[in-house]
Every structure is written in structure tokens, then in C-alpha cells.
Amino acid sequence: MTIVTEVLPTTEAGPTIPRHVAIIMDGNGRWAAKRSLPRVAGHRAGAEAVRRTMQAAVDAGVEALTLYAFSSENWRRSEDEVSDLKGLMRFYLERELGTLKKEGVRLKLIGEPAAFGNELYERLQRAVEETAHNDRLTLVIALNYGSQAELAGAARELARRAAAGEIDPDSIDIAALEGLLHTRDLPPLDLLIRTSGEVRLSNFLLWQAAYAELHFTDTLWPDFDEAAFAAALGEFARRQRRFGGR
């Protein structure tokens, strides 16, 4: 907590902390290329950055941290790289499960993680079940996730319910659609961070980011650390959020 409160403005209610932070973890490949290392080395270093960032979020009092781990478009990568990523997920899941329990972190999955195969999916589900009662931080891992597919799925379900006479089409509103999103049980997204200097959302939480503050940094994901996270929280606290008002 000390690292964060040193950079955040303080009001009578204390430092301004976003309830829900999401991160597009970008730059693993470039980090490895700069060091003449294979891409998997960048992914390994990126997994260490996940550990640091999760702990920083816990210490700061963030309620939910959503990480874009594998997009629905990442299947276009080579078979070897996808296999390496699945192996890393398996390894770090086993290694970090004890830390999640110790720190009171609840694991949640969004997207379509079943596509990774029964063995890995079952491991993921067991970790979700074993951390279900933790309440200090919800760590959301987006696996095989694409926001456009998420929105299309919600629209299909609303259309099905309307066609079946279960709902009146005129009653469909923002809340009805949000209630069918993968993030429906999470706080509203306050801050979205992207690393590596890219300035786009890449099909990540498009609906949820409607009024989120955006923070882009040139830091490659494996180099992202507690200080970088604190800097993003500090910038968030200095912004004036109007939500469409003047």
C-alpha cells in the first residue's frame, strides 16, 4: 500500500483507487526479440509481471484485476507458440495457486477457456472452485476472449428470449445487455492499461470500457512492475471523471 499512496492524491476519504483495473499485456515478443531470446522467454518474463501486478493490486485495495491473457485472435499464432503459452498457463497455475489462496484472491475466467482442451480447462476450473470464497481481490483471466463475440452472444440471447416471448423487445435496455456479459458480477471498469506503446483496445472489453480511463505506456509487459502500476493509478486519481457530464 505504501508504494501507491505515495503517488496518489488524497482526499478526506483517502486516496482515489479504481475498483476495477484491466490490462492489455502487450510486448512479450518484442521484449524477447530485443534480447535475442525465443518468444517463449518473453512469455515467461510476462508471467512474472502478472505476479508482481497482482500483488500490487492486492496491496492497493483494487477489487478486480482483469488481464487479457489470450484473445480469440491469438489462435492465429504458430502452433509452437500456442503450445508454449498453454504450458506456461499450466505451470504458473500450479505454482501460484497457493499464493492466490494466501492473498485472498478469487480467480475468475472470462471468454471460452474450454477451447484449451479438457486437461487444462479442468485445472483452471479447479483453481476457480478452490478460490471461490476469497474476497480480497478478484483476478479475472480473459482466455480465448473477444469482446465482439461476447456482445454478439449477449444479443443472440436477448433475441432468443424475445422470440420465445420471455421478454418484451421494448424492455431491452443497457442493464439487460450488461446482465449477459461475462463481467456482469464485477464492478464497472474504471481503468484500462495497455503496455508496449500500442494505442488500441484490440477487441478487449469494448462495452465495459465506455467510460473507463485509458492509460497507455511504452513499457513492455515483462518490464511492468509495482512502480509502473502505481504510476497508472496515480494518473487515474488525477483525472476528472465526468461520465458524459460537463
Q: Cα dihedral angle (42, 147, 22, 93), rounded to 10 degrees?
A: -50
Please tell me the predicted confidence (pLDDT) of residue 166.
98
Determine if residue 111 is labeled as part of a ligand binding site: no
Do the bridges between strand 64-71 and strand 137-145 make them parallel or antiparallel, or are there none, so unpaired? Answer: parallel
pLDDT per residue of the chain (246 residues) written in tens, 0 to 9: 333 434 444 444 345 899 999 999 999 999 999 999 999 999 999 999 999 999 999 999 999 999 999 888 888 878 888 887 888 888 888 889 999 999 999 999 999 999 988 999 999 999 999 999 999 999 999 999 999 999 999 999 999 999 999 999 999 999 999 999 999 999 999 999 999 999 999 999 999 999 999 999 999 999 999 999 999 999 999 988 877 666
**DSSP secondary structure letters along 27-80:** -HHHHHHHTT--HHHHHHHHHHHHHHHHHHHHHHT-SEEEEEEEETTGGGS-HH
Q: Binding residue per annotation — 213? A: yes
Return the CATH number at 48.
3.40.1180.10
Confirm or deny that 203 is annotated as ligand binding.
Answer: no
Type of residue at 140: V
User: Is 242 among the annotated ligand-binding positions?
Assistant: no
Is 144 tagged catalytic? no
Domain limits for position 228: 19-146+185-238
Number of H helices and E strands in the chain, helices first, is: 8, 8
Instruction: Give domain status of residue 167, yes or no.
Output: no
pLDDT of residue 15: 53
**72 belongs to an annotated ligand binding site:** yes
Q: Which of 59, 74, 144, 168 is catalytic?
A: 74
Q: Is residue 126 part of a domain?
A: yes
Distance between CA atoms of residues 127 and 123, nearest Å: 6
Consult the annotation and say whether 27 binds a ligand: yes
pLDDT on residue 5: 38
Angstrom CA distances, 217 to 21, 70, 210, stand at 15, 20, 20
Residue with cell string 480511463: 213
* 43 labeled binding residue: yes
Q: What is the DSSP letter of 17?
A: -
For residue 44, tell me if it sits in a domain. yes
Number of domains in the chain: 1
What spatial distance separates the first Cα and last Cα of the chain, rounded to whole Å? 33
Active site residue 80: no
- Asked whether residue 79 is assigned to any structural domain, the reply reads yes
Whether 30 has a binding-site annotation, put simply, is yes
Q: For residues 154 and 140, what is the distance between their CA atoms, to the nearest angstrom?
A: 19
Instruction: Please report whether residue 156 resides in a domain.
Output: no
Q: What residues form DSSP beta bridges with 12?
A: none
